[in-house]
Structure formats: structure tokens, C-alpha cells
Copies of this chain bind each other. A is one copy, B any other.
């Protein structure tokens, strides 16, 4: 982005008329609830899209939510539940009885229904599954047998399929007659006798072809067949890489069991990115709508680890208490070396973690990137060494102190560049998510190396 980012207020102006859950609407609804005016509230929310209704709910306090669910619960669009944040959804679902929830689930597409069911706890799941029709129940139970976050959970079980010996006319007539197709689809799959996909035809191509042409003659045969057990992150990668709008999902025998569409993948991309970003910031999961106590608990463990590493760094300082006792300037300057190492390392780390996530950083270019980042760190180390060396020299009127901080700066920024790439690569090699663990390992290292090199050199040179 080269242009200046917009404020939230400008953003809202531009979205005027295109987005339903504006701040004005949220405020009016809150007022209506506070003043117990159900007619006003109903009139306000009546025109809202299901996704906007979900945003509205997310902006209410838990009490306001309960009142609103009681008021409009029976009229809520089933789609509404698919758009809700998981924490808020739990709150809303608690107010509904099982029968109403079963109705909601029945009206959803299978993938959305499964998404809703998997968020419930075990006993609620059993209760709900008992309340839905047996045929649907079997479908959901089958879907829930696939691993969490797999293609099998993400896919819709309905697919538009035709045999390869049909022509366009037959295909169109079938599409017009059969009610059991998905409500909307972008590709038609051509399947062999054992229901193995052999090709696809985008609907717009079908539409533009004359009736007598054979469907096998216009189909694309280069299919990306997605195994039902594939992780959703890899599914998202394939959609991005090949600009897919839909993709067939197959079982172990290569038989078509469902279809994943791009709208679900957009949600996955969003989710995965947010996870990576939050993890890098030391937040284990999205707790934006969580209660204070849950948020405090989830943040605590990360801070505890950081306390441990901070104490470790302090123990390094304690090794040199004699030096600090003699030259108090060392205590003043030492955080600068650690801080610069941490920042330079974080830059490198962020680039490396992102590149790993989008599969740009792989074994064939890993060493080249490590070399480059170490060189970048080293060069910036020399530049900042010169700068900080002069600052310290004039500040404390000591050329030795200037020299010591300069040398420590070069060492720490060089280490930061090297570690900023090596740490995520190594964690990834051992199957540890680099987004979670990299930053704590890195800052521990840059703190320890920063204090050790600066105070150690000072002890050698000054005492």
C-alpha cells in the first residue's frame, strides 16, 4: 500500500449503503434494547444480511445478546450462525432449545452444519444429533470422523456430477430436473463408472457450448483431486496457487465424496493468517470476544514463559555485577544492545515465518536466505555500531565504552540475522509451529548475547 491508510471513519463512509451493521445501527439497537422497545429493534434488524446480523451480535454485551435472541431467536436466518465468532456463538446457542437448533442445522449446507456441530461440547453434540433426522445425522457423523481442520470437514457433500458420455443438452436437461444439486455451484464434475472424477467443466463454459457437443470434449482433465484427509492449510494453498473456484474431494479409493468451494477457503485463509499473526504476538488463540478471566488465563502461560527467559537474561547480568558496580554507565547502555538485537532479529524472523507459511522458504533456498539475512544483520550491525559507538563515546566521554558497545552491537545484530532465520527453519524441521515458538527463543537469545557480549567485553577492556 503506497497511499495513506484510511481511518476507520473514512472506511465507514466508503462502505455506506454496502454494509449493514454500521456503528449507527449498532447504537440504535443497543438503545432499543435498553429502552425495551422490541418494535424498534425488530425494524432495525429486519433488513440485515445474516453476516451483518452476526457482526451486530458480536458488538452487543452478553446481556443484550440474550435479550435479542429471546426476541428474534425463532426468526434468525440459519446462515447467521455460520458467521458468528465461536465464543459469541456458544453464548447464543445456550439460549436456544435443542429443537430450534436442530431446525437451524437442518437448513444449513452440510459443511456449515458440521462447522456448527463441531463447536459444541460432546454432550451437546449427542443431544443435537439425536434431534436431527437420521439421514442427516449419518452425514454429520461421517463428516465428524474426518480429522479436525481437514478437507473432509470443509467440503460440501453435494456435487453436480454427470457421466462423460453425456452431451451438453443431456447435462442441461438433467440440471433443470434434478433437485438434489447444491444451491449454487461453479464447476460440473465428470465422473467415471466408479464415481472417480475424470474432468470438470466450468458452468459458464457449459452455458456457452451448443447442445449436441459431448461433455467429454470440452472438459478440463487436469484436476487437483484433494484427499479428504488433507489439512485445510494445504487446501488453501492449492486454491491460491491455482486460482481455483471449486475442487473435488476424494476418498482413499479416489472416489468423489464432496466439493470444496472458494468461499470456505477464503474463511480458512483468513483464519490461518490470523492465527499466524496472533501467535507471533504471543496470543495462543483469538480471544477478542472471550471473557476477562479466559483471556487472562490464555495470556498468562505465555507471559510465564517470558518471565523465565527474562530471569535467565538477568542472571547473565548478575554475572557481571562487579563490572556494573564499578562503571554504572554499563547498566545504562546495556538495554540498548539487547533491544537492537531483538528488533533486528524480529524483522528477519517475521519475514522467515511468513515465507515458511506460504511455502516460499524451502530446503532449496534456505541456505541462500540464511546467508542473505545474516549479511543484512551484519551490515546493519556495522552501521549501528558506528552510530552508537560515537553516541556512547560522547555521552560518557570514554572511547573504551564507545568501542565496547560498537563491538557488542556488531556481534548481536549478526547473531540476530542468523538466528532470525535459523530458529524458524529449525523449529519447522522438528514439526514445531515456527509462528508460536520462534519469537521467544529469538528474544531470549538476543538478550543473552546482547548482555553477555556487552558486559563481557566491558569487563575485559575496562577493569
Contact indicator B19/A295 (Cβ below 8 Å): no
Among A33-41, A126-134, A135-143, A235-243, the stretch in contact with B: A235-243
Tell me the smallest distance from the CB of A36 to a CB of chain B, in Å: 20
Query: Within 8 Å CB of A61, what residues of B?
Result: 368
Of the residues B149, B240, B325, contact of A270 by C-beta under 8 Å: B240
Nearest CB to that of A338 among chain B residues? B335
Of the residues B186, B302, B355, contact of A288 by C-beta under 8 Å: B355
Query: Within 8 Å CB of A1, what residues of B?
Result: 149, 233, 272, 275, 433
Is A144 engaged at the interface, CB distance under 8 Å to the other chain? no
Q: Which 10 A-B pairs have the closest CB atoms?
A: A281-B350, A331-B331, A5-B433, A273-B273, A243-B263, A310-B339, A310-B336, A203-B203, A7-B431, A306-B343
Is A441 engaged at the interface, CB distance under 8 Å to the other chain? no
Tell me the smallest distance from the CB of A205 to a CB of chain B, in Å: 7
Is A123 engaged at the interface, CB distance under 8 Å to the other chain? no
How many angstroms between the C-alpha atoms of A148 and B2 in the bound complex?
8
Is A253 engaged at the interface, CB distance under 8 Å to the other chain? no
Tell me the smallest distance from the CB of A4 to a CB of chain B, in Å: 6
Of the residues B204, B347, B430, contact of A281 by C-beta under 8 Å: B347
Contact indicator B299/A242 (Cβ below 8 Å): no
Tell me the smallest distance from the CB of A3 to a CB of chain B, in Å: 6
How many angstroms between the C-alpha atoms of A264 and B47 in the bound complex?
29
Is A103 engaged at the interface, CB distance under 8 Å to the other chain? no
Contact indicator B324/A328 (Cβ below 8 Å): yes
Nearest CB to that of A206 among chain B residues? B207
Contact indicator A280/B280 (Cβ below 8 Å): yes
Is A23 engaged at the interface, CB distance under 8 Å to the other chain? yes
Of the residues B51, B207, B344, contact of A299 by C-beta under 8 Å: B344
Of the residues B148, B242, B272, contact of A3 by C-beta under 8 Å: B148
- What are 19 of the A-B contact pairs (CB < 8 Å)? A1-B433, A3-B231, A6-B431, A7-B431, A9-B429, A23-B362, A55-B360, A172-B207, A266-B269, A286-B351, A295-B372, A299-B347, A300-B383, A310-B335, A310-B336, A317-B332, A321-B332, A325-B328, A334-B335
Query: Within 8 Å CB of A18, what residues of B?
Result: 224-226, 238
Of the residues B15, B204, B344, contact of A160 by C-beta under 8 Å: B204
Tell me the smallest distance from the CB of A365 to a CB of chain B, in Å: 5
Query: Within 8 Å CB of A369, what residues of B?
Result: 288
Is A388 engaged at the interface, CB distance under 8 Å to the other chain? yes
How many angstroms between the C-alpha atoms of A382 and B175 in the bound complex?
65
Is A230 engaged at the interface, CB distance under 8 Å to the other chain? yes
Nearest CB to that of A50 among chain B residues? B242
Query: Within 8 Å CB of A364, what residues of B?
Result: 23, 26-27, 30, 59
Tell me the smallest distance from the CB of A308 to a CB of chain B, in Å: 10
Is A457 engaged at the interface, CB distance under 8 Å to the other chain? no
Contact indicator A311/B328 (Cβ below 8 Å): no
Query: Within 8 Å CB of A324, what residues of B?
Result: 324, 328, 331
Contact indicator A299/B350 (Cβ below 8 Å): no
Contact indicator B185/A204 (Cβ below 8 Å): yes
Query: Within 8 Å CB of A355, what residues of B?
Result: 288
How many angstroms between the C-alpha atoms of A394 and B432 in the bound complex?
35
How many angstroms between the C-alpha atoms of A303 and B274 in the bound complex?
26
Nearest CB to that of A372 among chain B residues? B292
Q: Apart from A313-B336, A321-B332, what 14 extra A-B contacts exist at CB < 8 Å?
A: A3-B149, A4-B431, A8-B359, A8-B429, A11-B234, A18-B224, A181-B204, A182-B204, A184-B205, A207-B207, A243-B263, A288-B369, A296-B380, A299-B380
Is A190 engaged at the interface, CB distance under 8 Å to the other chain? no
Is A176 engaged at the interface, CB distance under 8 Å to the other chain? yes
Query: Within 8 Å CB of A102, what residues of B?
Result: none
Tell me the smallest distance from the CB of A331 to a CB of chain B, in Å: 4
Is A63 engaged at the interface, CB distance under 8 Å to the other chain? no
How many angstroms between the C-alpha atoms of A287 and B355 in the bound complex?
10
Is A119 engaged at the interface, CB distance under 8 Å to the other chain? no
Tell me the smallest distance from the CB of A374 to a CB of chain B, in Å: 10
